[in-house]
Amino acid sequence: MAVLTDSLGRVARKLRISVTDRCNFRCQFCMPTHPVWLPHSEILTFEEIYRVASLFSRVGVENIRLSGGEPLMRRDIEQLVELLAGIPGIRGLSMTTNGFLLAEKAPSLKRAGLKGITVSLHSLKPERFSQITGGGPFEKVIEGIKAAKASGFSPLRINAVIIRGCNDDEIADLASLALEGDVTVRFIEYMPFDGERHWGVDKVVSGNEIVARVRERYALVPSPRPAGSTAQLYEFEDGKGEVGIITSITQPFCSDCDRIRLSADGKIVPCLFDKTGFDLRPLLRTSGSDEAILNFMRNAILQKAPGVETLLKKYQQLEHIRPMHTIGG
């Protein structure tokens, strides 16, 4: 069957599924302090997610990442992992999590077939971590990372969103977590997806500046960037590990973007910077045929924007897009 191709010839190979909009943290750069949750009835069931993911795999999607909200807050998430791991053609199955429930869930997630884990960790100072995450317990997240290491997840990554005046003094310290080579640390440029609209260009620390700050302590060698990758990686000259930068703001990587997203309430979102999506749920819930759903997907991807710049031009300025927890990052 023909692969899912957009109007510029980019093929969708990676599907990011938000399994819930709910989260037990309140990261200021991601969501409002008092979010309005989606009604349960609007959130896709495991069977619906499985069906959509299976159809995506029939048209070329090979990798799935589960996100949220906080994916580990979705009850019995291991059941969904097991279903998705069994889809023929799915080679990579991973999750992005805040790590709060990871210590207890890492072994069962591994058994269910999850391969990779990315844990968000924005500070190594417990008090600051708690402040950034709206009360997140630092030690519990560190335990989660240790449990993920012990369970043998690969790839195992740490994501840190860097915000000027907040945690940019910790860039080299965070990078040092990657020195042993058992985890990759990736720094994300702050994007306009926060809940309380604190975002501003002045708070963005560019990927170039992040690399320069790491280089004040460690020599780095850039690695070739695989097509479709969100991160530019660098190896430590004197270590085993690597760090990366995700430069969605200063150097967007749209020309070979191979991602497509499914929101918790069943919208296909071709680009992270889209303000709306294509609502697949009515079709799913009115016994739409597989062919009708595949046609819907084909139409949605054809409307994928050429890149972040085009969308930002459309919105006239770099402005608040939406809270990140509604789409999953």
Which chain residues interact with ligand SAM by CB under 6 A?
Answer: 23, 29-30, 67-68, 70, 96-98, 120, 159, 161, 188, 190-191, 193-194, 324-325, 328-329
Q: How far is the CB of 2 from ligand SAM (least distance, A)?
A: 31
d(Cα 112, Cα 71) in Å, to the nearest integer? 15
Closest to ligand SAM by CB, 121 or 294: 121
Question: By the 8 A CB rule, do 272 and 327 touch?
Answer: yes
Closest to ligand SAM by CB, 54 or 94: 94
Q: How far is the CB of 68 from ligand SAM (least distance, A)?
A: 5
d(Cα 86, Cα 50) in Å, to the nearest integer? 10
The alpha helices in 138-196, defined as continuous H runs, are 138-151, 171-176
Nearest residue to the partner ligand SAM, using Cβ: 329
Question: By the 8 A CB rule, do 33 and 66 touch?
Answer: no
End-to-end CA distance of the chain: 29
Question: By the 8 A CB rule, do 321 and 273 touch?
Answer: yes
Q: What are the Cα distances from residue 24, in Å, to 49, 69, 119, 127?
A: 22, 8, 14, 17
Closest to ligand SAM by CB, 190 or 234: 190
Phi, psi angle pair for 222, to nearest 5°: -65, 140
Closest to ligand SAM by CB, 190 or 273: 190
- For residues 50-87, one letter each, b for 16 or more C-beta atoms within 10 angstroms of the residue's C-beta and e for the rest, the string is bbbbbbbbbbbbebbbbbbbbbbbbeebbebbbbbeeb
Query: Looking only at Cα atoms, what is the longest distance across the chain?
Result: 58
Q: How far is the CB of 206 from ligand SAM (least distance, A)?
A: 13
Closest to ligand SAM by CB, 194 or 209: 194
Q: How far is the CB of 113 from ligand SAM (least distance, A)?
A: 19
Q: How far is the CB of 273 from ligand SAM (least distance, A)?
A: 11
Q: What is the DSSP string of 70-115?
A: -GGGSTTHHHHHHHHHTSTT--EEEEEE-STTHHHHHHHHHHHT--
Q: How far is the CB of 245 from ligand SAM (least distance, A)?
A: 12
C-alpha closest to that of 56 among 19, 11, 23: 11
Closest to ligand SAM by CB, 115 or 284: 115
Q: How far is the CB of 272 from ligand SAM (least distance, A)?
A: 9
C-alpha closest to that of 77 among 66, 88, 62, 69: 66
Q: How far is the CB of 5 from ligand SAM (least distance, A)?
A: 26
Question: By the 8 A CB rule, do 49 and 85 touch?
Answer: no
Q: How far is the CB of 173 from ligand SAM (least distance, A)?
A: 17
d(Cα 71, Cα 119) in Å, to the nearest integer? 11
Closest to ligand SAM by CB, 69 or 266: 69
